[in-house]
Structure 1
Amino acid sequence: MALKPLNESFYKLPTLELARALLGKLLVKETDAGIASGWIVETEAYIGPGDRAAHSFGNRRTPRTEIMFWEPGYVYTYVMHTHCLVNVVSGDVGMPEAVLIRAVEPHTGIELMYERRGHDKKEKDLTNGPGKLTKALGIEKADYGRRFFERPLFIAEGTEPELIQNGPRIGIDNSGEARDYPWRFWVSGNRFVSR
């Protein structure tokens, strides 16, 4: 059965609900080298203007954050410490919110993932972090502005996780009270969760 991108209406959920709903869905990237995909097992929500950890805190509108002000379902990629990270734009138009995809469980194209990440890697380490999964799947900064409901970078239907946990986000220590918001969501017990 051919994989089909989820309808754009899926992305209209409120950001915290979307961050949960993405768990268990399939993240797919089609490239000339082949198709690689993984089940989303960890996400983090960033609620725009009032969230000190968000790039768009205080409605900060820059060339980098511009896409966050658009319709939900757009691809927001950026580079941090040489790693490309991928986010799903969420929230209404003009409300710059997003969900970071933090980890996936490899599904298809695993050999391709090893080629991109190195054959010395343990399978668990291929995609258990936001910079690792983009490299493994071939997601690049150039994917900025694509739409997740269209090929070649899209999200397809998956299976509902049995148990979802949530807690504080990771790596945002300098963001005041926002560092304690329980806006990281993960599939309980999945070995590909980043930590």
Structure 2
Amino acid sequence: MQNYFENAETMDLAKDMLGHSFTYKSNQGTFSGLIVETEAYLGPIDMASHSYNGRHTKANDPLYQAGGTIYIYSIHSWLDMDISIQKAGTPNGILIRALQPTAGLEQMELNRNRTGFEVTNGPAKWMSAFGITDKSLSGTMLNEQNFSFSDKKVQTPQSILATPRIGVKNKEPWTSKNMRFIVKGNPFVSKLPKRDMNLETYGWL
């Protein structure tokens, strides 16, 4: 699986990850969802990246590891998760921004104290829904320990939209670049207006 995250351009992988399932096995049980929203971060050249200009710290070291390494980090009081992309030493990442739940929904709702699309329609929301409350699993590999990523797409998007990333301010030209990818119409996409939701197929073929 590691090769999947090393054998294509980061932007292409950010699109291709849509429709794959992401699973977490924890002491609360198994949580799983379909990836419906991602953002690409292009390492040292990308002003919005944690590794911009070659910044390398103990915290962001997972980005410098082999493709498929989990990188968990804090944004204010929330936790987000990137997957490292490309071979070790090239610190690109893809942020998993939103998931459509497929297993463990009841516990997710309890963890979030929410129901409906609000449970997992944002990067910190799905992390909280999955019961991830610290960074202890940062640096672990996908498909080796608690986290796994499906070999193949479980669902195929009808249409993929590319938009600017969310929350990247005052970093032109990077603020305006279309580096966020969503399953068009999927109601679990973050900040999606109700009028844009496809409640029949959720945007899948």
TM superposition score category, shorter chain reference: over 0.9
- Give the aligned residue type for 1:85: D
Alpha-carbon distance in structure 1 between the residues aligned to 2:92 and 2:115: 34
2:196 maps to none
Residue 187 (structure 2) pairs with residue 191 (structure 1):
yes
Normalised to the residue count of structure 2, the TM-score between the two structures is: 0.88
Alpha-carbon distance in structure 1 between the residues aligned to 2:84 and 2:172: 23
Residue 129 (structure 2) pairs with residue 136 (structure 1):
yes
Q: What are structure 2's unaligned runs of at least 5 residues?
A: 192-205
Residue 149 (structure 2) pairs with residue 155 (structure 1):
yes
Which of 70, 75, 100 pairs up with 2:70? Answer: 75
Residue 86 (structure 2) pairs with residue 91 (structure 1):
yes
Identity percentage over the alignment?
Answer: 34
Residue 63 (structure 2) pairs with residue 43 (structure 1):
no
8 A contact 2:2–2:66 mirrored in 1:
no
Structure 1 segments (4+ residues) deviating >2 Å: none
Q: CA deviation at 1:155?
A: 1.1
Give the helix-richer structure, 1 or 2. Answer: 1
How far does the alpha carbon of each residue in 1:23-70 deviate from its partner, in whole angstroms, 9 at most, with x for none? 001111111111111100000000001100001000111112211111
Q: CA deviation at 1:9?
A: 1.7
Residue 177 (structure 2) pairs with residue 181 (structure 1):
yes
2:202 maps to none
Alpha-carbon distance in structure 1 between the residues aligned to 2:189 and 2:108: 17
- Give the aligned residue type for 1:78: Y
* Aligned CA-pair RMSD: 1.1
Residue 47 (structure 2) pairs with residue 52 (structure 1):
yes
Q: What are structure 1's unaligned runs of at least 5 residues?
A: 1-6
Instruction: Say which SS state the counterpart of residue 73 (structure 2) adopts.
Output: strand
Alpha-carbon distance in structure 2 between the residues aligned to 1:138 and 1:39: 17
Normalised to the residue count of structure 1, the TM-score between the two structures is: 0.92
